[in-house]
């Protein structure tokens, strides 16, 4: 009874005082919110004591489960020393140690770590570093000021990150604020923009990218990409070799490669970073979501010694990178991020995942035969299930049908929390999720899809 009245009161306050992200609040105000109070491993528990599987890793951030003893302890230990001090003119042990540890696991050739707070700011930093780099390198190439990005790209919600994004729905209203960029077709094989089929296409979608780089490299500072998986677009997976070709093109036309590993980083694809699958080293790499194991907001932009060195000079040359945030290098965040990397080592997370990955692939297979499942895309623990009105013609459900949302609501009733991307159902379990829990997640997904699409 007490839990009920407390939940009712919290729900009332939520509707009165909160404004939720990516949420139509008019609709929200009519619903009863699930109010998560605690968690353990891959489970979330609400204020009424109801238990749910965390099917999207609390929005793609959690890796080793909730309340991991080592991560909890890292924060408690750091709290005994200090919660925050600045990196502007000072340093702190967790920020130093984490930078070293990150360089230890990053693709070879990345040697420097610049901290910020979230995925969007890590992307903003990469864009600004790229533009300033070209002005200061020898010989200077200050005319290189614009960026190439893929269609359907998502790099965050701040204005710069939005400028290199292509999510119509999120950014149309802000077109006046966005700086001009160059968009290229994404490798969306299920709905190929060129109407071709892989592998017979031989990745013809790269030809227009090469053309634009060839013609306009004088004005292009960098090409930004979500390596291997365009996550927010609906888990669109690039064919093998695509990233390698992009790296080659960037080398050929002297354009910096910016890898946005915010979603794909930290084991999500089965390797530490998506770039590792193809042995690619980007010139700049943005990381955030999994960096602290899903505990605290923290981000970083990694870069090469070559780029770093272009910012060195006498004080009055003003080659300084004038960028930073109030919480840059926050010791609490860095301490838990350091512990996150320790867990990868101590629990051999990536090795242990391998068996589970195969199992997940096997578990998903029966869903691909359902009448309204167009395609299932999987890279490691990133899964997108594209629902279609008609399998033969691949006709999408009208977005107003909210079929993804309806499936998510069904899944919630059955104890699985997921958040769809339009008509694409997303399953992104914490890396710690075991085969029996994966089995449960997929079976709930299966039932929920059937209930909504074949009822
Ligand atoms: C989530 C995401 C971002 C933005 O990160 P925030 O922490 O939400 O600002 C940027 N890029 C990619 C690929 C993402 O998935």
SS (H, E, C) 257-307: EEEECCCCCCCCCCCCCHHHHHCCCCCEEEECCCCCCCCCCCEEEEEEHHH
Query: Cα of 247 to ligand 1 centre, how many Å?
Result: 22
Choose the final residue of a domain: 346, 365, 398: 346
The CATH code of the domain that includes 379 is: 3.90.1150.10
Q: Give the pLDDT score at 170.
A: 80
The string of pLDDT tens digits covering residues 219-262 is: 999 999 999 999 999 999 999 999 999 999 999 999 999 999 99
Ligand 1 pocket check for 156: Cβ under 6 Å: yes
Ligand 1 pocket check for 155: Cβ under 6 Å: yes
Same domain, 186 and 232: yes
Distance between CA 214 and CA 327 in Å, rounded? 40
Choose the final residue of a domain: 321, 346, 371: 346
Ligand 1 pocket check for 154: Cβ under 6 Å: yes
Instruction: Report yes or no on 193 lying in a domain.
Output: yes
Q: Which atom of ligand 1 is nearest to the CA of 288?
A: 7
Q: Which atom of ligand 1 is nearest to the CA of 119?
A: 5
Same domain, 49 and 83: no
> Ligand 1 pocket check: which of 149, 156, 186, 286 to mutate, most ligand atoms within 8 Å of Cβ?
156
Q: Give the pLDDT score at 168.
A: 82
pTM above 0.85, yes or no: yes
The string of pLDDT tens digits covering residues 329-380 is: 999 999 999 999 999 999 999 999 999 999 999 999 999 999 999 999 999 9
Instruction: Report yes or no on 301 lying in a domain.
Output: yes
Q: Which atom of ligand 1 is nearest to the CA of 263?
A: 15
Same domain, 265 and 157: yes
Sequence-ordered alpha helix ranges (H) in 40-118: 57-60, 69-79, 93-105
Q: Which atom of ligand 1 is nearest to the CA of 161?
A: 10
Ligand 1 pocket check for 290: Cβ under 6 Å: no
Q: Give the pLDDT score at 172.
A: 86
Instruction: Report yes or no on 1 lying in a domain.
Output: no
Q: Give the pLDDT score at 167.
A: 84
- Beta bridge partners, 163, equal none
Ligand 1 pocket check for 261: Cβ under 6 Å: no
Same domain, 84 and 54: no
Same domain, 322 and 190: yes
Q: Which helix (H) or strand (E) holds 437?
A: helix 435-453
Instruction: Report yes or no on 19 lying in a domain.
Output: no
The protein residue whose alpha carbon is closest to atom 11 in ligand 1 is: 155
Range of the domain at 188: 72-346
Ligand 1 pocket check for 231: Cβ under 6 Å: yes
Give the Cα-Cα-Cα angle 120, 179, 261 (nearest 5 degrees): 30
Distance between CA 147 and CA 164 in Å, rounded? 7
Same domain, 238 and 258: yes
Same domain, 84 and 221: yes
Same domain, 275 and 315: yes
Q: Give the pLDDT score at 118.
A: 98
Q: Give the pLDDT score at 455.
A: 76
Q: Which atom of ligand 1 is nearest to the CA of 297?
A: 7
Sequence-ordered alpha helix ranges (H) in 297-368: 305-309, 331-346, 349-364
Same domain, 185 and 324: yes
Query: Cα of 230 to ligand 1 centre, how many Å?
Result: 11
270 token code pair: 């089965």
Ligand 1 pocket check for 260: Cβ under 6 Å: yes
Distance between CA 122 and CA 209 in Å, rounded? 24
Secondary structure class of 191 (helix, strand, coil): helix
| 316: number of Cβ within 10 Å | 6
Please state at what angle helix 206-216 crosses helix 242-252, rounded to 10 degrees: 10
Instruction: Report yes or no on 5 lying in a domain.
Output: no
Instruction: Report yes or no on 16 lying in a domain.
Output: no
User: Into how many domains does the chain fold?
Assistant: 2
233 token code pair: 């677009």
Query: Cα of 155 to ligand 1 centre, how many Å?
Result: 5
Same domain, 152 and 290: yes
Choose the final residue of a domain: 287, 319, 346: 346
Query: Cα of 1 to ligand 1 centre, how many Å?
Result: 40
> Ligand 1 pocket check: which of 57, 150, 152, 288 to mutate, most ligand atoms within 8 Å of Cβ?
288
Same domain, 370 and 317: no
Positions in the chain short of pLDDT 50: none
Instruction: Report yes or no on 2 lying in a domain.
Output: no
Instruction: Report yes or no on 207 lying in a domain.
Output: yes
Same domain, 214 and 244: yes
The CATH code of the domain that includes 219 is: 3.40.640.10
């Amino acid at each position: 009874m007490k839990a009920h009245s407390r939940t009712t009161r919290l729900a009332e306050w939520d509707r009165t005082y909160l404004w939720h992200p990516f949420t139509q609040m008019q609709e929200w105000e009519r619903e009863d919110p699930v109010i998560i109070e605690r968690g353990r491993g891959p489970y979330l528990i609400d204020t009424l004591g109801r238990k749910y599987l965390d099917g999207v890793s609390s929005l793609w951030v959690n890796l080793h489960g909730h309340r991991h003893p080592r991560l909890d302890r890292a924060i408690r230990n750091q709290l005994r020393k200090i919660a925050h001090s600045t990196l502007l003119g000072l340093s702190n042990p967790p920020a130093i140690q984490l930078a070293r540890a990150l360089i230890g696991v990053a693709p070879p050739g990345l040697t420097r770590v610049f901290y910020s707070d979230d995925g969007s700011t890590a992307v903003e930093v990469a864009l600004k570093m790229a533009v300033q780099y070209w002005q200061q390198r020898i010989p200077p190439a200050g005319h290189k000021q614009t960026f190439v990005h893929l269609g359907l790209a998502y790099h965050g919600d701040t204005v710069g990150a939005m400028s290199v994004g292509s999510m119509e729905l999120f950014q149309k209203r802000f077109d006046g604020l966005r700086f001009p960029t160059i968009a290229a077709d994404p490798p969306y094989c299920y709905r190929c923009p060129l109407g071709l089929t892989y592998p017979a296409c031989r990745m013809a979608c790269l030809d227009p990218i090469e053309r634009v780089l060839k013609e306009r490299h004088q004005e292009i500072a960098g090409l930004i990409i979500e390596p291997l998986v365009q996550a927010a677009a609906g888990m669109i997976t690039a064919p093998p070799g695509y990233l390698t070709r992009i790296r080659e093109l960037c080398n050929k036309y002297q354009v910096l490669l910016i890898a946005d590993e915010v979603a794909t980083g930290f084991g999500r694809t089965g390797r530490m970073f998506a770039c590792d699958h193809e042995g690619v080293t980007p010139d700049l790499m943005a990381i955030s979501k999994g960096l602290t194991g899903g505990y605290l907001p923290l981000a970083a932009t990694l870069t090469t010694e070559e780029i770093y060195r272009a910012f060195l000079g006498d004080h009055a040359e003003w080659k300084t990178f004038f960028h930073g945030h109030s919480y840059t290098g926050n010791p609490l965040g860095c301490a838990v991020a350091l512990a996150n990397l320790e867990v990868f080592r101590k629990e051999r997370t990536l090795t242990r995942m391998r068996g589970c990955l195969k199992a997940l692939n096997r578990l998903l297979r029966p869903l691909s035969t359902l009448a309204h499942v167009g395609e299932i895309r999987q890279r490691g623990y990133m899964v997108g299930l594209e629902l279609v009105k008609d399998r033969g013609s691949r006709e999408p459900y009208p977005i107003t049908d909210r079929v993804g949302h309806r499936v998510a609501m069904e899944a919630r009733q059955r104890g699985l929390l997921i958040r769809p991307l339009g008509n694409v159902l997303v399953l992104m379990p914490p890396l710690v999720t075991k085969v029996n829990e994966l089995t449960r997640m997929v079976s709930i997904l299966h039932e929920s899809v059937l209930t909504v699409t074949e009822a």
